[in-house]
Amino acid sequence: MHTLLFVVLAMAVTAAPARAEEAPEVIALENLAVAAETAGVKLESATPAEVTPAAMTQIYATLHDAWEEMEDGIADAYPHGYMELEQEFDALHVAVGAAQPDRAAVAGALAGLAHEAMDVAHYLENGGASSGATAVDMNE
């Protein structure tokens, strides 16, 4: 399981489809989100014996290595999104750093990372416009 999960994560993080219309940061963030989501799905089907500190550390290391390759570009393009992603990585680091990692805590941190990576990707893809809720002026 540990080796299979690592291979799946490595493929998800590095397999960027050719999409000329999207910025490299957007593609990298989408791949990061897919990798985090894939890790969470694999974690849900893992046996308790497979949820080892070494396996959890490897998940974090693989995702963080991918993040390190793109983080400067994200920080320049969208500082707030960069900080949000750093917070998600901090939460994942805490979850995987437990003496005996809790499957639910790690899965939750992976889901948070995947969600935030997609949010930042959408923000950048929309040229800095939020893809979420529209602001409403309550004074009108």
Q: Is the pLDDT of residue 63 over 50?
A: yes
Residue numbers of the domain that contains 47: 2-125
Task: List pLDDT tens digits, range 95-112.
Answer: 999 988 999 999 999 999
Q: Is the pLDDT of residue 12 over 90?
A: no
Domain-located, residue 140: no
Task: List pLDDT tens digits, range 65-82.
Answer: 999 999 999 999 999 999
Domain-located, residue 49: yes
Q: Is the pLDDT of residue 62 over 90?
A: yes
The torsion of the CA quartet 134, 19, 112, 43, rounded to 10 degrees, works out to 150
Total domain count, the chain:
1
* Secondary structure letter of residue 99 according to DSSP: S
